Chains A and B, each alone.
Chain A
Amino acid sequence: MSLTNTSIQEKLVEKFGDQVGSFSTDSGILSFEAPAPSNLKVIQFLYDELGFTFLTDLCGVNYPDQKGAEIVVVYHLHNFVENSRVRFSIAVPVEKPDVFTASKLFESANWMERETYDFFGVNFIGHANLKRILNVDEMDYFPLRKEFPLEDQTRIDKDDEMFGRG
């Protein structure tokens, strides 16, 4: 069995019908979108049927202008035997960012999901230990969301002579 981007796409469409869509092969990696509630079904199918047994990366992206789909979680999976990669994303609204956890299938998802929770506030349902990982526990916002601005570089009200700004 040799896997090509087209054969992966065909198998996915055969299995999930029009639930999966927006296929593209940006920079050689097949990427597609799936509905948020069926993320585990897609991962399990890729794992069992197509041999994507390695979770390369899991991260969030925030698109504040996409109403109802502001938070996007992106998965990168890898099939070592066929040496092919696949990327898929699911979108959830910022008011209720609930996503099923992949940490039961991949141990590696544990911290990557904690990181995504830490920065984007994605609530991974079923995660055993969903708490902040890189930021302090007391933090009450999700810093990589676009609504959280970086400091204005032209501000002058800050006494910061020691650090070369003042």
Chain B
Amino acid sequence: MEAHHNIDLPQGSIEKKTTTLNIGPTHPATHGVFQNIMEIDGERVVSSEQTVGFIHRAFEKLAERRNLYQITPITDRLNYCSSPINNMGWHITCERFLKVEIPKRVDYLRIIIMELARISDHLICNSIVGVDTGAYTGFLYVMQYRELIYEIYEEVCGSRLTTNIGRIGGFERNFTNTAFTKLEKFLNEYPKVLKEFESLFTRNRIFMERTQGTGGISAERAMNYGFTGPNLRAAGVDYDVRVANPYSSYQDIDFTVPVGTTGDNYDRFLVRNAEMWQSISIIKQAYEKVQAFKGTDAEIFHADVPEYYLPKKEDVYNNMEALIWHFKIIMGEVNLPKGQIYSAVEGGNGELGFYLVSDGGRTPFRLHFRRPCFIYYQAYPELITGGMLSDAVVTMSSLNLIAGELDA
């Protein structure tokens, strides 16, 4: 009994039946900066509490001193697995707010880029679910095609991860032939790879047993928790912003919205895979529509918004009007109209909304990002309580949580 006096145990720790386990903020199983303090009984999770905010960068405050075009790079850093969708979402918000008419060709080009981004987002998420269930191969295998998507971004805007792609009104330059060649290569090769990726996982017995019935949520609870995107659709609610509030001419494209039933990890995986197939078909349709523009119509890559779209450099040097606009845009001397707008796009992991309030100044008076994963991450304890600790890890990756978006 002497030994007890040598160890200084906290009060009540001997009577305690459960173990407190800290996971994160930097842990290989969290894929991002997340901390979870779990109470576990053996291997079962009894309760859990999340801590967020480790990479909070005050984007909403920063945006209050920036012009519209300076906010685009901020949106890159929300969901960095699909930054083009965030960029386009921001541009679409601005264009709706400023009532800018966008040419159809620009809309279709944007659809191509956004769907590529969706594929790369889902690809990461699904292959990481594979990694967490012990199948590393899929992840390495599809990475090659994410690389090809990034090469297309690079061809269009010059950068890969934080893209800052496009401008208010359209794109900064027309798509090059190389971009289209790479897109064709992607459309030719990727379906085979996705097929193979699916055959690695979808009917794989180990994978099914790890994911079926874990991390499930009912449609009603999912809606109450503010789920959107693939996670909500996996629970059986067919809500997709592209259909409900079409933007960027999505109404011209034929596609279906895949839904699941149980809202568990397996259904989320299936919904994302099915969405990738839809995205491929959307890209094909949009690409056909782009190709239908001939002659001078095929040169259109932006709308005519001199107040917000930078003029060509030659014009700046040779033309007074263009020079004035160039300076006004760069110095941010364009006043916004008064008013407020909420505009949303279907991001990689749900409804990405922008709530913009303007008091007529040069910068937003207030800008709020509706970040889907910030809202649905609240449900995490409910999803994992009663399950195994190792399933909690899979649930976390199958929710597609992106720390950059969560913490804004």
Contact = CB atoms under 8 A, between A and B. Distances in A.
Interface of A: 26-27, 29, 31, 53-57, 59, 61-62, 74, 76, 80, 83, 85, 87, 106-108, 110-112, 115, 119, 132-136, 143-144, 150
B340 interface: yes
Contacts of B353: 56-57, 76
B353 to A, nearest CB: 6
A80 B237 contact: yes
Contacts of B344: 56
Given A61-B366, A119-B60, A134-B408, A56 B351 contact: yes
Contact of B375 (A31, A83, A108): A108
B343 A134 contact: no
Contact of B61 (A53, A133, A144): A144
Interface of B: 52-53, 56, 58, 60-62, 64-65, 96-97, 221, 223-226, 237, 239, 244-245, 339-344, 351, 353, 355, 357, 365-366, 368, 370, 374-379, 407-408
Nearest to B62: A150
B102 to A, nearest CB: 16
B98 to A, nearest CB: 11
A57 B343 CA distance: 11
A27 B341 contact: yes
B339 A26 contact: yes
Contacts of A110: 378
A26 B53 contact: no
A107 B368 contact: no
B92 to A, nearest CB: 12
Nearest to A61: B366
A118 B62 CA distance: 16
Contacts of B408: 134
A76 B127 CA distance: 34
Contact of A143 (B58, B239, B339): B58
Given A54-B226, A107-B378, A143-B58, 16 more contacts: A26-B339, A29-B342, A54-B223, A56-B351, A57-B370, A61-B357, A80-B237, A80-B244, A83-B244, A107-B224, A111-B375, A119-B60, A132-B53, A134-B52, A136-B53, A143-B61
Chain A binding surface, main DSSP class = mixed
Given A133-B53, A134-B407, A87 B342 contact: yes
B385 to A, nearest CB: 14
Contacts of A108: 224-226, 375-376, 378
Nearest to A83: B244
Contacts of B244: 80, 83
A57 B223 contact: no
Contacts of B343: 27
Contacts of A29: 342
A54 B225 CA distance: 9
A107 B245 CA distance: 24
A54 B370 CA distance: 14
A56 B97 contact: no
24 contacts: A27-B340, A27-B342, A27-B343, A31-B340, A53-B223, A54-B223, A55-B226, A56-B351, A57-B353, A57-B355, A57-B370, A61-B365, A76-B342, A76-B355, A80-B223, A87-B342, A107-B225, A107-B379, A108-B224, A108-B378, A111-B377, A112-B375, A135-B56, A143-B58
A74 B340 CA distance: 11
A112 B339 CA distance: 23
A106 B368 contact: no
Contacts of B60: 119, 144
A143 B58 CA distance: 9
